[in-house]
Chain A
Amino acid sequence: MRDYVKINIASPKQILKWTERLTPKGKYIGKLKNSKKTLDKKGKCIRGGLFCEQIFGPTKKNTCRCGYYKNYKKSKKEKKHIKLCRICNVEITDPIIRNYRMGYIELNIPIINILYLNINPCYLAIITNLKINYLKQLHSGKAYITIKDKNQKEKKLTGGEAINDILSKIDLEKTLIKLTNNIHQYKEKNITIKNFKNILNKIKLYNYLLQTKIKFSWLLFKYLPVLPPNVRPIINMKNNQQISNDLNTLYASIINVNNKIIKLKESLIPDNYFINEKILLQKKVDQLINNEKYKENKLGKIINNKKLKSITENIKGKEGIIRENMLGKTVNFSGRSVIVVEPTLNLNECGLPKEMAINLFYPFIIKELIKLKLIKRLYKIKKITKILDIILENIIKNHYILLNRAPTLHRLNIQAFQPKLTIGKSIKLHPLVCSAFNADFDGDQMGVHIPLSLKAQAEARNILISINNCNSLKNGDPNILPSQDIILGCYFSNIENCNLLYILNKIQIYTNMEKIKMEYKKENLSIHNFIWLNFKNKQQIDKLKIKRKNLIKKIIFLRTTVGRILFNDIIKNFL
């Protein structure tokens, strides 16, 4: 079976399953009642508060809150069972548990999840077949419905209670059958395309709802799950100030309002008298989920008029969890420095500062050093410099690094090179790969990454290496091209200089290219000197690209310059 990920709406039972735990004593733990969102003076979590150790787990490893257990080591038998401190009821485990363990708030009245109402398409409106504006009025307490009690008394409901009542009366199958039967009639009635599309959308949605067997009451919150404490951290600063995530304040306000409603209910005050509190609870929950729409409302603001960041805002956007943390991964073993040109490098090489190399290849160096039994501890390696150089050189020989320049617009902006250790602090780059990186040397910086695993190293060598990326992707043209000074040098040495000095000179005849080179080295010939080159074979001349065919028989000589002979000599070596 293939792995898959499935998403659906959680039932209240499911939420309790995530959040509630049974202790060995037979007690259920997980419900949050106390709205204390801070730490106490010693920096410990307050019992029953939003960071309660009983509910979410210990903050220190194998240590309980009261200090009865300190760094307690579980025996093998105990590892299978849950172990609680007898005094403070804190479980003794790894504090990583605080990343996952959730709590819940039991809401006294059903609360609408604002996402089903505010986001287009409005699913609540489609399901209930009511207008969106009416639903929004119900949600904010401006409209109400009347129902009859068990005792046949009339009762007015607003908010989540009202919508709960409406949802409970819907029969999905009947409406779906009605719609599907009528679909052909709709065509005849000349209904506009927009309406027809709406009906189709409705049918689709009903189909999905029937398939998934969702109960409509699940669209409302009965139990509000509280995120694990490490997702909404609180930090104790040195001057007794505490920096806390925005979600904490939002959760605390929800608990406060909820507790108030509980008190009012306990004192047997009839429901109609605390409608305002109910609406306030609704608003608080809305703020927790989506705080964007409460721009003018004072409730959404806190000190300095800053809006609190809600859950949806934490998820979406470029800095949200999805794009920041799930798609983008922070990388170890990377560096960054200014680039500098180094013409003496080969095309598959780059210069890497020694300081950077030591830090980047740290684990590899230590591995070698431990193998050689030079050190036992990790941190002293910088003192042994002489051996370090040799070891580093050895490591670098077989280890390619990746260079990356910042706007990574296409795949040529990351290439692999063989590093060469250099003195100084800048990365040395080969001049011909500049066009691929679109780099110049006016202060550009580059990132360095190191492929760690063996597979990654192999890929860097075969696929990412700069000499295997000669052609550009978009049209197959050569990608590594000489530019600027190199071209100027080539052009200048190859040009026919029509200066009188060279023209009036008697042009010498040579048959041997080597001899010309020798003469050039002796400075008997300058680079612009004209030369008659004698070709020995006639065949050679036939294939020369000379347009005037009649003259071929007569020409055995080619008029070139010294520079051209030198340039052709280079090419000749590679043919």
Chain B
Amino acid sequence: MYSKNIIYFNKAFDKIEIKNLINWFLINYGNIKTTKLLDKIKKFGLIHATNAGISIGLNDLIIPPSKKNLVEISNKNLNKINKKFKNGKINLITYLIKEKRTWDNMNENLKIESIKNLKQNDLLNSLYTMTLSGARGNINQVKQLISMRGLISDSQGNLLNLPIKTNFKEGLNIVEYFISCYGARKGIIDTSLKTANAGYLTRRLIFASQNTIIRKTNCFTKYKKKIKIKYETKQEFKLLKEELIGRINVKTIKEKDNNKIIISYGQDICYTFKKILNHNINIYIRTPLNCILTTGICQMCYGWNLATGKIVELGETIGTIAAQSIGEPGTQLTMRTFHLGGIFTSKIKESILSPFTGKIWYDLNKNGKKTYNKFNEKIFLTSKEKKITIYENNINKSIYYLPPNSYIFVRPGEKVFKAQIIAETFDKQKKKENTKFNEVKKIKSNISGKKYINKKNKKFNNLYWILNANFITFNKFYHKLTDKLNFKKKSYTISKNMQDKNKKSKKNLQLKISIKNILNNMEKKKSKTNKKFIFINEILNKNKTIILNKPKKEKIINNKWKIGKFILKDEITNKNRNLYPSQIIQEKKDTSVLKKVTPYRLNDKILDKNPYIMKKNALLYKAVTKKEKNKDIIQGLVEIEKLFEAKKSFIIDKTKNLHEILKDLFVNYNKKYNNSTSTRKSIEIIQKYILEEIQSIYKEQGINISNKHIEIIIKQMTSKVIIKNAGNSPFIVGEICNINSIDNLNKNYEHKIIYEPILLGITKSSLYTQSFISQITFQESIKSLIKAAIENKIDWLYGLKENLILGNLIPIGTGFK
């Protein structure tokens, strides 16, 4: 690509390629040539687009044939888990997680599968060309059209457990349609409500930093930032590139053999930076954070103006540019979020799918062991590289080599279906997951009954049984009996008291039931007429309720089980299968009577305060679950605002906020170093933390902002100190001043000023130094106006807003003196 004749691009130009081409062109050939090229490309593209006449119709949306299979498999998996849950083998929370994971897996695999399908069958499919070239639509949108819509978040951004299995070509059913309405509505509401918030953040950012301009050529600071050169992946290299390009180098680097200078002191790092990386481990650069000018920033500390690719000129309004660069994408994205319609995207582990239906084989004894995972599934954990083979028939087979620490879900010899998940690999890189929120989930009983905890049996450890039963109050019970009495007089006898009263006056029923009488009568009745069973299990005096058992007669051929024994579902008992988890309550010669029971597996602690009997839908226990939230820019902006305002509600490590951490750091450093260095060191750590945190939020949304801009805002937040001891100076204790100006003053004093670092939010920090005229234009104008009047303030008209109000030329850019 270097001399004139040779350049020939033998590749298809999609959006990314064209972007790279233009970027390369801009760097090498400048603006004017590039714009002319762009105009030519525009003409070429439009002509060929019209010639191609690409259109899209219903037949272009091709649903992959393997979708049916995938849905079947995941349904099968879910059934398995459901069984386990109903038998009490796993608790509710793991059940939910597993459910979500299976849907996620299916979603992701189906997406890959459908794109593969298009690629293999119809390369010139118009849908495929449009998305692949980057002309229109992205993969998420295509996924909704031809694979499945997937999991969806509701109006609060929480995940809904019911996925949308259909796509737009097939059409949604009614339930799915209603679910998807949540997300769609959320998008629309957010755009109209949250744009104001984003705009307000931009306004504050602008106000905080509008006064920082390039004031001088060099500040001769001795502070510098060390950057370790260490990269393995492509992404790390890219990050390093973004960090380095356009900065000024502070330490000359020489070649080891020749003493040839690679990069000298004060040279800017440009696009040929790669040769530096080969020679050195650390690079020292200047950053705006380390600039020691009291107002503004020097040229050397700022480095390149990113818009021109050259060193900034004097008088450039870098503050405003920084604020705009940070604020603009936030505002822009809040206005654009509704396009996705609440589709939940989460990252899954890399999984290996079976390429065809066949049999699997691997050695169970080598390189790993059998275990259970937390979902109570049988898995094989590999310890070294593991070979697995899948046979379709005698000829056709495929072999996989799995890396260590990966799970295999199927046993050797088992039959596998096409696109079934065989194994999951273990990633070294930690992917940033969606933020999780603790949520207290109330778990309720499905049936009414008695609570029972089996502590002795190890098999049923941590299980929580609900014995199926009905409750009835004395009143109702009496009514029941009497009603029945009316129907079948002969078959019932009731105690004398009641009988007499009934006979005398049927209208006025007075309840004076003696419990013993009822009990006695019932038992008699049981023995006499074998037709109706009513087991009165227990009578609770306090609540005036009677517990009635709902017996379920089931023949189970003779067992040695005693009364009170619990049986799980599907436990085979001599040819008869048990349909429900149950308890034996009666034993006869050949049969035993069972009662339906529901087991619950507990997490760790049991709330024994609960009442002994459970009504239907009564609270069993509370469980703390971690719920995922769809993190979009709107949630991100709240975090960013908290960081920039240095709010105390922004808590790190669950205990401390930024202010407290800064204080701790300062105290620790103060034992070793003197006042100035300990302040700077502790502040540096906080600065780094805020920078990385904000970058991570923006990166998540795919926004790429240069560190420079954020550093300028952070400098406003951290450049102030609070005076603890005034020394020889005329300051008052507790005054807040600029750290650089105090360090300058301290050179002249014998008793030096002692200070502590403080972290100020952007709103607060902007109110400390600026002129009163620009203050009254921001917020609380009357308050600051009166304060200025009482303090008899003088405005020297250095800033932008003062001059704008008075109608002067603004002292920046071309008006800079």
Binding site for B on A (CB under 8 A): 2-9, 115-116, 119-120, 123, 183, 196-197, 200, 203-205, 207-209, 211-212, 214, 290, 312, 315-317, 320, 322-323, 326-327, 343, 346-348, 407, 409-411, 431-432, 438, 455, 459, 463, 467-478, 480-499, 527, 533, 537, 539-540, 543-544, 558, 560, 563-564, 566-568, 570-575
Contacts and interface: CB of A to CB of B under 8 A. Distances in A.
B8 A495 contact: no
A183 to B, nearest CB: 8
A533 B325 CA distance: 46
Contacts of A489: 44-52
A178 to B, nearest CB: 16
Contact of B135 (A209, A211, A488, A494): A488
Contacts of A487: 13-15, 18, 45, 133-135
Given A315-B782, A407-B331, A432-B42, A470 B35 contact: yes
Given A474-B306, A478-B19, A563-B48, A5 B31 contact: no
Contacts of A573: 40
A197 B42 CA distance: 65
B307 A473 contact: yes
B815 to A, nearest CB: 10
B42 A343 contact: yes
Contacts of A491: 12-14, 129, 132-133, 135
Nearest to B801: A327
A570 B18 contact: no
B46 A343 contact: yes
B339 to A, nearest CB: 13
Nearest to A438: B332
Q: Give the top 8 A-B pairs by smallest Cβ distance, nearest first.
A: A486-B45, A489-B49, A491-B133, A489-B45, A474-B325, A489-B48, A476-B306, A488-B135
Contacts of B242: 475
Given A487-B133, A492-B48, A571-B37, A564 B9 contact: yes
Contacts of B202: 409
Contacts of B732: 200, 203-204, 207
Contacts of A463: 813-814
A410 B52 CA distance: 37
B805 A475 contact: no
A212 B787 CA distance: 13
A475 B556 CA distance: 76
Contact of B773 (A5, A315, A571): A5
B6 A540 contact: yes
Given A327-B801, A483-B135, A490-B48, A411 B41 contact: no
Contact of B782 (A6, A119, A492, A539): A119
B706 interface: yes
B750 interface: no
17 contacts: A119-B786, A207-B732, A209-B790, A212-B790, A472-B307, A481-B22, A489-B46, A491-B12, A492-B49, A495-B12, A497-B124, A537-B5, A539-B6, A564-B10, A571-B7, A571-B21, A574-B36
Given A7-B788, A474-B706, A491-B12, A348 B797 contact: no
A123 B709 CA distance: 39
Nearest to B781: A316
A212 B792 contact: yes
Nearest to B2: A543
Contacts of A473: 306-307, 321, 324-325
A490 B44 contact: yes
A490 B135 CA distance: 10
B796 to A, nearest CB: 5
Contacts of A539: 6
B49 A327 contact: no
A484 B31 CA distance: 23
A348, A407, A492, A560 interface centre (most CB from chain B within 10 Å): A492
Interface string B100-134: 00000000000000000000000110000110111
B606 interface: no
A402 B46 CA distance: 27
Contacts of B11: 494, 564
B539 interface: no
A480 B39 CA distance: 11
Contacts of A211: 792
B4 interface: yes
Contact of A320 (B43, B309, B772, B781): B781
B13 A567 contact: yes
B9, B33, B706 interface centre (most CB from chain A within 10 Å) = B9
A571 B21 CA distance: 10
B26 A475 contact: no
A272 to B, nearest CB: 33
B187 interface: no
B49 A488 contact: yes
Contact of B15 (A203, A346, A470, A483): A483
Contacts of A490: 13, 18, 41, 44-45, 48, 133
A566 B789 contact: no
A168 B523 CA distance: 100
Nearest to A313: B782
A3 B797 contact: yes
Nearest to B706: A475
Given A348-B35, A459-B814, A492-B129, A6 B10 contact: no
A80 to B, nearest CB: 29
Contacts of A540: 5-6
A498 B123 CA distance: 8
Contacts of A571: 7, 9, 21, 37
Contact of B777 (A326, A407, A478, A533): A326
B38 A432 contact: yes
Residue among A203, A486, A543 with most chain B CB within 10 A: A486
B733 interface: yes
B806 A5 contact: yes
Interface in B278-314: 304, 306-309
Contacts of A312: 782
Contact of A6 (B9, B307, B733, B793): B793
A265 to B, nearest CB: 32
A327 B805 contact: yes
B243 to A, nearest CB: 12
B508 to A, nearest CB: 61
Nearest to A573: B40
Contacts of A482: 18, 38, 41-42, 45
Given A322-B781, A476-B309, 20 more contacts: A6-B792, A7-B795, A200-B732, A205-B791, A323-B777, A347-B39, A348-B35, A411-B324, A459-B814, A467-B31, A473-B324, A486-B41, A487-B15, A489-B45, A495-B124, A497-B123, A537-B5, A544-B10, A558-B8, A567-B44
Contact of A478 (B26, B42, B45): B26
B576 to A, nearest CB: 62
Contact of B802 (A5, A348, A493, A564): A5
B695 to A, nearest CB: 12
B705 interface: yes
Interface string B742-782: 00000000000000000000000000000011001100111
Given A486-B42, A489-B45, A5 B328 contact: no
A476 B26 CA distance: 11
Contact of A477 (B8, B9, B23): B23
Contacts of B783: 119-120
Nearest to B336: A438
B331 A409 contact: yes
Contacts of B136: 484, 488
Contacts of B304: 476
B572 interface: no
B306 A475 contact: yes
Contact of B705 (A120, A471, A475, A484): A475
A321 to B, nearest CB: 9
Contacts of B788: 7
Contact of B35 (A6, A467, A475): A467
Contacts of A5: 773, 794-795, 797, 802, 806
